[in-house]
Amino acid sequence: MIDITLANFESDLIQASLQQPVLLDIWAEWCGPCKALGPVLEQLETEYAGRFLLAKVNADEQQEITSQLSQMFGVRSIPFCVMFVGGQPVDGFVGALPAEKIREFLDKHVPGEGEIVSELETLEAEQLAESGDTETALAKLEDALAKDPGNDEARYDLIKLLLAEGALEGAQAIFAPIAERATGLLAEQRVNAFGRYIDALAAARQGRSPAELSAAIEANKRDFTARFELAQIFFASGHFTEAMDELLEIIMRDKGWNDELARKTYVAILEVMSKPQPKPIPPKAAAATGAAEGKPQLEIAGKVAVTANDPVVDKYRRKLSSALF
């Protein structure tokens, strides 16, 4: 629990809510219901084991803060609690509610323990996959999805590993729920990219061999169908740069070939290669799960773990720009 003043409003409330939900309790010394609510909120903060942070502000001493929040929500009485998520006030409640009602309120905004464990297991799986331990990484990702079926990054990572193992049907089954529920430009771009990734493996199973395709290209540099088929084989097998090199050959000779299929596939490969920023995980919650103990992880203690740009992705983005413009 932390006391909020004008001096720490930005750092300990706004910035802190970028890392984890913060519940701000507006109270006063003379307010009987406030004194009844306070211990309930403190007990819930302990019960939720770091999944949200409790902050308090004295309505009499910090009127500039409390008056603005009261006006924003149209509330004139206390106790008044405001939930901050992502740097913004998003919801609130008035009065000394019983614990079960406050739990219902919290559960709308606070990540479940399963979600946090799932995120941590996804990070561990990525590191295991990079070290070559595919079998353990697959098990971790399957467990992460079991704990949180809405963890799409675990789902995408699992699709990558399954495709690398040639498990087309398994990848299609894992992909189906995302394809059905994707909304918004960024989500749809990622779904489109992984859809093309899966299609590449299906096409590679049925097409000509790499030797046959290379011979066809050698005989005719403008055999774009053969180049695209070869790019699909490279894409399906995880040889992304080789795939993009073949696609670039098509783009440089004929940008509009087959309704810009080469460019669209190239962009899809870049999307598959790109890592989204990991979700911030409350450090206390991570510790409470026991997942952080003795295991290699991204640094998540009190700040967002930032994924560095991939120099290969940046290089091939520049190559595409040069070819197009």
d(CA 174, CA 182): 14
E strand residue ranges, the chain: 2-3, 22-27, 53-58, 80-85, 88-94
Three-class SS state of 56: strand
Confidence of residue 141 (pLDDT cuts 50, 70, 90): very high
Confidence of residue 19 (pLDDT cuts 50, 70, 90): confident
User: 31 catalytic, yes or no?
Assistant: yes
At 188, the amino acid letter reads: E
Please say which residue of 44, 76, 107 terminates a domain. 107
CATH of the domain at 63: 3.40.30.10
d(CA 237, CA 165): 9
**What pLDDT is attached to residue 1?**
87
**What pLDDT is attached to residue 275?**
78
For 307, the domain range is 113-324
Residue 300 has pLDDT above 50, yes or no: no
Same domain? 146 vs 89:
no
d(CA 82, CA 94): 9
**What pLDDT is attached to residue 272?**
94
How many structural domains is the chain composed of?
Answer: 2
First CA to last CA across the chain, in angstroms? 55
Average pLDDT, the chain: 87
Same domain? 83 vs 18:
yes
Confidence of residue 282 (pLDDT cuts 50, 70, 90): low
Q: How many CA atoms lie within 13 A of 197 on its CB side?
A: 31
Same domain? 43 vs 189:
no
Please say which residue of 91, 107, 123 terminates a domain. 107
**What pLDDT is attached to residue 304?**
38
**What pLDDT is attached to residue 152?**
87
Same domain? 130 vs 276:
yes
Same domain? 201 vs 243:
yes
Please say which residue of 107, 142, 173 terminates a domain. 107
Measure Cα distances from 271 to 87, 90, 117, 251, 295 in Å.
Answer: 28, 31, 26, 18, 29
Cis, peptide link before residue 280, omega less than 30° from 0? no
**What pLDDT is attached to residue 72?**
86
**Percentage of the residues of the chain whose pLDDT score is greater than 70:** 89
CATH of the domain at 280: 1.25.40
Catalytic choice (34, 117, 138, 226): 34
Catalytic choice (23, 24, 31, 262): 31
Buried b (16+ CB within 10 A) or exposed e, 114-125: bbbbbbbbbbbb
Same domain? 42 vs 176:
no
Same domain? 224 vs 248:
yes
The pTM of this model reads: 0.63
Q: For the ranges 86-90, 146-150, 286-290, which has the lowest average pLDDT? A: 286-290
Same domain? 102 vs 247:
no
Same domain? 191 vs 282:
yes
**What pLDDT is attached to residue 303?**
33
Same domain? 75 vs 155:
no
d(CA 164, CA 238): 6
- How do 80-85 and 53-58 pair as beta strands? unpaired
Q: For the ranges 68-72, 87-91, 275-279, which has the lowest average pLDDT? A: 275-279
Looking at residues 264-290, what average pLDDT do you find? 72
Three-class SS state of 80: strand
Residue 132 has pLDDT above 80, yes or no: yes
Looking at residues 272-291, what average pLDDT do you find? 61
Same domain? 79 vs 161:
no
Same domain? 22 vs 85:
yes
**What pLDDT is attached to residue 188?**
85
